Amino acid sequence: MAAVKMQIAYHDLADYGLPLVTPDQPEFVDLVADILSRPRRFGNCPPEEIPTAAVLLNRSGKTIVTLSFLWRFTDGEGHAPTSRFSNLGSGTQFDVLSGRTGVVRGQESLILPGSKRLLTERGMYGDNRDVLSPEEVPSGGGFLGGSSGSRGNGAPLSPTELQLDIVIFEDGSYAGPDEWGMIAGLTEEVPQERALAEKILTVLRGGASPGQVFEMLRPLARMERVPSPPGIRGGYHRPLLKGFVHQAMHQLTYGSEGQLEDWLTLVTDSTPLALRPATPLA
């Protein structure tokens, strides 16, 4: 489906239960108000971005593990840059994708069935409190305000298109054109993560000190990005591998004796999600 408002084309994945509600639809105002009514740790969406935004409704019946969306712009000088936004970056998401844990209601980085998100030019806003019972809401306000991406700070840009690029569900099925190449990237990263875990386990069991393991991990925390397709800013930043390295360093630094080895064993013994194209809803 594509709807046009203010010269903006909105492309959703309604066939997979993921429609976008756009500013020209009557329910848009109430949906945005509901999302912004809940306090956020890092602040609300800037009001000036709401007229071009869209609300994503998760009517798929499945939890969304991660997603990415693209904005296309014009600068009035014949250039048409594209920016990508993704919410992939939490340990929960990495654990689900790698098969180390399943979906648990209440985790803010996942998008539960029936929940909604506000997609803007600079990020995504909303959380699962619109579908959780009071008993399921974490104490202390543990929900994040939104995700970020890459837009740049050059000449003023006017949005022309919003595209829901890729969505990965809890069962490993995915939908979307995936112009950014998330599926190809994750497919490459999963075996690399396992191989790295096996390598570190081998040196640990061979008597390596924590300092030696730390030196193995440190250069990996600065991995260069894989170039994006032409015209898309930011590059594919190897989120799964970087997440693995940061989790391992955290276990090494703050965990008890043997905790890193136990966690690495879990990594090598887990069965990752089998990524495959989703089937459109009937």
Task: Determine which of 15-19, 99-103, 152-156 has the lowest per-residue pLDDT on average.
Answer: 152-156
pLDDT at 82 over 50: yes
Global pTM value: 0.86
Are 222 and 275 contacting, i.e. CB atoms less than 8 angstroms apart? no
pLDDT tens for each residue of 90-108: 889 999 999 998 888 776 7
Highest mean pLDDT among 45-49, 106-110, 127-131: 127-131
Are 35 and 126 contacting, i.e. CB atoms less than 8 angstroms apart? yes
Contacts of 175 (CB under 8 A, 6+ apart): 13, 15, 16, 18, 166, 167, 169, 277, 278
> For the chain, percent helix, then strand, then coil, each to nearest 5?
35, 25, 45
Mean pLDDT to the nearest integer, 105-118: 89
The confidence score (pLDDT) of residue 157 equals 81
Using 50, 70 and 90 to split pLDDT, how confident is the model at 124?
very high
Highest mean pLDDT among 17-31, 34-48, 91-105, 150-164: 17-31
pLDDT at 164 over 90: yes
Closest alpha carbon to 9 in 52, 38, 46? 52
Cα(74)–Cα(39) distance, integer angstroms: 33
pLDDT at 38 over 70: yes
What phi and psi values does residue 156 have, to the nearest 5 degrees? -55, 135
Runs of H (alpha helix) within the chain: 28-36, 91-97, 182-205, 210-217, 239-254, 259-269
DSSP three-state, residue 141: coil
DSSP-assigned beta bridge partners for residue 123: 120
> Following CA atoms 144, 236, 52, 128 in sequence, which dihedral angle do they give, to the nearest 10 degrees?
-30
Q: Angle at CA 86, nearest 5°, toward 104 and 4?
A: 115
Using 50, 70 and 90 to split pLDDT, how confident is the model at 154?
low
pLDDT at 150 over 70: no
Task: Choose between 249 and 56: higher pLDDT.
Answer: 56
Using 50, 70 and 90 to split pLDDT, how confident is the model at 139?
low
Mean pLDDT to the nearest integer, 140-168: 67
pLDDT at 145 over 50: no
| CA within 13 Å, CB half, 55 | 24
Residues in the chain: 282
